[in-house]
């Protein structure tokens, strides 16, 4: 397994719509493994392929936060939200592509998602709580959308300016 570099906003690759996956091969399994390793190392609870510069509709997540609980890694390929609850939930979201910035985002509290797993088998599941927030955040990444796109323009610009400064400092170091 290998750690991938996580892109930092602003980057055009984070604004692009990712392409559907058609080849369920060893290369895809290796990408999923590398993304899970990168997510756990960050640490994070989710990661979408565009965040590591790969324009494919693939995401990984594990929202088990308790220290002694068993991990529950999930790999979702070509995921689609097939149902959303009317009830909404607000969660203070973060993003590995926008380090150290957090903001409240309102989303459907429950969603049903269908996807293909690494063996090419179709799966469907209903998510709630943090899992529902995370899967929607990650599917947004596949559509070139970031959590800051839900914020007021002024707040979004402020965060973007901070990220431009951070990237400039990182490039100099
Ligand atoms: O997509 C990403 O950038 C990952 C992001 C996912 C996410 C977080 C919060 C709400 C929705 C989606 C993160 O994992 S940010 C880091 C984070 O939330 C976390 C890190 C360590 C422990 C627990 C949470
Ligand atoms: Zn994110």
pLDDT tens across 17-33, in order? 999 999 999 999 999 99
Which conformational region is residue 78 in: left (phi greater than 0), alpha (psi within -120 to 50 degrees), or beta? left
Quote the pLDDT of residue 66: 85
CATH code: domain 12-172 is 3.90.45.10
CB 16 within 8 A of CB 7: no
3-state secondary structure of 11: coil
d(CA 47, CA 3) in angstroms, rounded, equals 12
Quote the pLDDT of residue 6: 98
Cis peptide before 10 (omega within 30 of 0): yes
Query: 138 catalytic, yes or no?
Result: yes
**Tens-binned pLDDT, residue by residue, of the chain (173 aa):** 899 999 999 999 999 999 999 999 999 999 999 999 999 999 999 999 999 999 999 999 999 988 899 999 999 999 999 999 999 999 999 999 999 999 999 999 999 999 999 999 999 999 999 999 999 999 999 999 999 999 999 999 999 999 999 999 999 98
How far is ligand 2, taken at its centre, from the CA of residue 138, in Å?
Answer: 6
CB distance 50 to ligand 1 below 6 Å: no
Shortest-distance atom of ligand 1 to CA 65? 23
How far is ligand 2, taken at its centre, from the CA of residue 99, in Å?
Answer: 9
Quote the pLDDT of residue 80: 98
User: Which one-letter DSSP state was computed for residue 119?
Assistant: T
How far is ligand 2, taken at its centre, from the CA of residue 147, in Å?
Answer: 7
Domain boundary assignment for the chain = 12-172
Quote the pLDDT of residue 121: 97
Pocket perturbation via mutation, ligand 1, pick of 38, 90, 94, 111 by most ligand atoms within 8 A of CB:
94
d(CA 92, CA 64) in angstroms, rounded, equals 17
């Amino acid at each position: 397994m290998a750690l991938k570099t996580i892109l930092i906003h602003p980057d055009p690759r984070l604004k692009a719509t990712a392409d559907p996956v058609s080849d369920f091969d060893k290369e895809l399994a290796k990408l999923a493994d590398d993304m899970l390793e990168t997510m756990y190392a960050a640490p994070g609870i989710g990661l979408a392929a565009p965040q590591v510069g790969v324009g494919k509709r693939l995401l990984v997540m594990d929202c088990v936060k308790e220290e002694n609980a068993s991990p529950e890694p999930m790999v979702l390929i070509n995921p689609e939200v097939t149902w959303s609850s009317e009830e909404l939930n607000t969660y203070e979201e973060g993003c590995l592509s926008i380090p150290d910035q957090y903001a409240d985002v309102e989303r459907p509290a429950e969603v049903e998602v269908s996807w293909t797993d690494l063996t090419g088998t179709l799966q469907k599941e209903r998510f709630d709580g943090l899992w529902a927030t995370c899967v929607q955040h990650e599917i947004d990444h596949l559509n070139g959308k970031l959590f800051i796109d839900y914020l007021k323009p002024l707040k979004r610009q402020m965060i973007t300016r901070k990220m431009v400064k951070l990237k400039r400092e990182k490039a100099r170091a």
